[in-house]
Each structure stands twice: as structure tokens, then as C-alpha cells.
A = this chain, B = another copy of it.
Amino acid sequence: MILSPKIENFVLHCGEMGSRWGFNRTIGQMVGLLVINEKPLTANEIAEALKISRGNVSMGIKELQSWQLVKVHHIPGDRKEYYSPNGSIWDLANKVFEERRKREIDPTLTLLRDQILNNANSAEEKYAQEQMQSIHDLLETVTKWSAELQRLSPEQLQSLMKLGSSVGKVIDLKDKLLRK
């Protein structure tokens, strides 16, 4: 499997971005490769295209499955596994977003809930407690909000995002209504 320069360019870029998106270079490349190819690919094709070992592909696929980003196909009479992205670009982005929330926010929320239950026994600890409470409240708001967004249909979400600057007006309006 050989990549056209244009496609290779994109795949390499995904590799460079990989670690920023939450995985590593190779896994970034794998996502790029799967997304850019219409046909599902075998592990050997991936290894060949990215010039990495077969074992590395296996580990990468495992990781991507833990993010729910790939799905496996089987072709009758063929023992190989064929991999493709698990859903549309939109779905993938959503899954990455959700998984990252779990990894980046949930553990801290858990810790803070525990810490806040303890009493402060010095002025220092009192301030610390307050700060932890603020962080807790922020993270909880974000978590709830993110759950709400997940519940919206892609169309509603697009619609909300495209509200653009008028979103401020909508909020002000809602506030005014509530205040009555």
C-alpha cells in the first residue's frame, strides 16, 4: 500500500497532532489513514503504509478501540480483519471529546469531592478548601453542560453553534424571563 503525496501529507500531519489530541504519533497517523481511505484496511496494509511493525499496529488498534474510534469488518472467506472509522467525522470528534472529558476531568472531580468533605484545620487549609470548591464547581458545571450537549442531535448542536454572536442575546432574554 503506497500513499499519494497529498494523502501522505495529511497522514503525517495527523501523526504530528496525535499527541495533542490525546494519543501518540503512530496512533494519530492510523486515525488519519483510516479516515482518509474509503475502504477498510487490514493491519498489514496499515503497517506497510505507515512503515511500522505489525505489532505496533496491533497495539494501536487496541488503543483506538478503547476510544471507540474504529470498527472491525469481516469479508466472507477472508480471515483478515478490516478496520474503518467508527462513524462520521462528527461521531469521531464527539468520542474523542467525551473520552478526554473522562480522562481529564472526572478523576479530579472525584478527588475534589473527597477533599471538600474534610474540614480545614488552619487558615491555609481554609483558603485551599475554598479554591478546591471553586474548581469543583467549575468542573461540575462543565461536565453537566457537556452531557447536555451530548444529548443533542448533531443537527441541534450545529444549530446551537451556528447561533454565533446571537447566543448572548438568547441568554439575556432567558435571564430576563426568569427574573419575572
Contacts and interface: CB of A to CB of B under 8 A. Distances in A.
A161 to B, nearest CB: 4
B10 A104 contact: no
Interface string A142-157: 1011001101100010
Nearest to A139: B93
B171 A111 contact: no
A47 B34 CA distance: 45
A48 interface: no
A163 B174 contact: yes
A7 B167 contact: no
B158 A141 contact: yes
A50 B167 CA distance: 43
B171 A167 contact: no
Contact of A107 (B17, B118, B144, B151): B17
B4 A127 contact: no
Contacts of A38: 124, 127
A38 to B, nearest CB: 4
Q: Which of A135, A149, A171 has the most C-beta atoms of chain B within 10 angstroms of its own C-beta?
A: A171
Contacts of A174: 159, 163, 170
B163 A111 contact: no
Nearest to A97: B142
A161 B167 CA distance: 12
